[in-house]
Amino acid sequence: MTNLSVNINKVATLRNARGGNMPNLIQVALDCEMFGAQGITVHPRPDERHIRYSDVYALKPEIKTELNIEGYPSDQFVDLVLKVKPAQVTLVPDAPDAITSNAGWDVRPNFELLSDLTDTFKSHGIRSSIFTGTDLENLDWAAKTGTDRIELYTEPYATEYPVNREKAIAPFVEAARHAKSLGLGINAGHDLSLENLAFFHQQIPFLDEVSIGHALICDALYLGLEDTIKRYLACLKD
């Protein structure tokens, strides 16, 4: 079974546009769970332009499924993760001013950093995931860090999908099979949508989790949050 973790960053962006607490971030997270999502993802950035660090502390005691905190492992971020103790931390190589994640880790030159972090998180009972592309040698290095999972950066798949879906999925199938052979769990995220998710899942049936935010929240504007989540879950049925 592939779990759906809903990234609620865009909900926080809408709230922050006017100040106050509308929409209520915690209520949206709880509603996502009630409608069937198996996890909630947040990606706090240093400027707190969407998710605030205080949001993460407030969410943790309320979440009944799995909380996934993703981001660049600055000292402030690592301190947050160790204090909150989410089910999973996803390490992303974002620059502080990045609009959104746009690449996976080049693991080899960052091997010591990532190895130390996965050891630290593991000692605190936190599952770790490293955001990566599909390069097989890079996945070998990721496995050597001791990480529990990798998260495949799927923007290249989403871009190519409307043109040639078989070509789009091929490197991801190869990467996922290789990662699985290394004993790694497999997550995926970035630009997955109702258009391309079902095919992705059909081709990689041993996915552990997909993390989806932007497309899901956009769909919810037209379909409503409950119907949207149910449609995404339907894409993940075996």
Between the alpha carbon of residue 232 and those of residues 16, 29, 81, 190, 217, the distances in Å are: 26, 16, 28, 14, 11
Mean pLDDT score of the chain? 96
pTM metric for this prediction: 0.95
Residue 153 has pLDDT above 80, yes or no: yes
The average pLDDT across 170-199 equals 98
pLDDT at position 3 is: 98
Model confidence at 173, in pLDDT bands (50, 70, 90)?
A: very high
Residues catalogued as catalytic: 43, 70, 190
pLDDT at position 217 is: 97
| 3-state DSSP assignment of residue 189 | strand
Candidates 213, 223, 186; CA nearest to 10 is 213
Q: Which amino acid is at 1?
A: M
Model confidence at 110, in pLDDT bands (50, 70, 90)?
A: very high
Q: What is the DSSP letter of 108?
A: G
Model confidence at 98, in pLDDT bands (50, 70, 90)?
A: low
In the chain, the percentage of residues whose pLDDT exceeds 90 is 93
pLDDT at position 179 is: 98
Candidates 81, 80, 105, 83; CA nearest to 95 is 105
**Domain definitions of the chain by residue range:** 3-235
CATH label, 3-235, candidates 3.40.190.10, 1.10.10.1800, 3.20.20.70, 3.40.50.12780: 3.20.20.70
The average pLDDT across 70-90 equals 97
Residue 150, exposed/middle/buried by CB under 10 A (0-12, 13-18, 19+)? Answer: buried
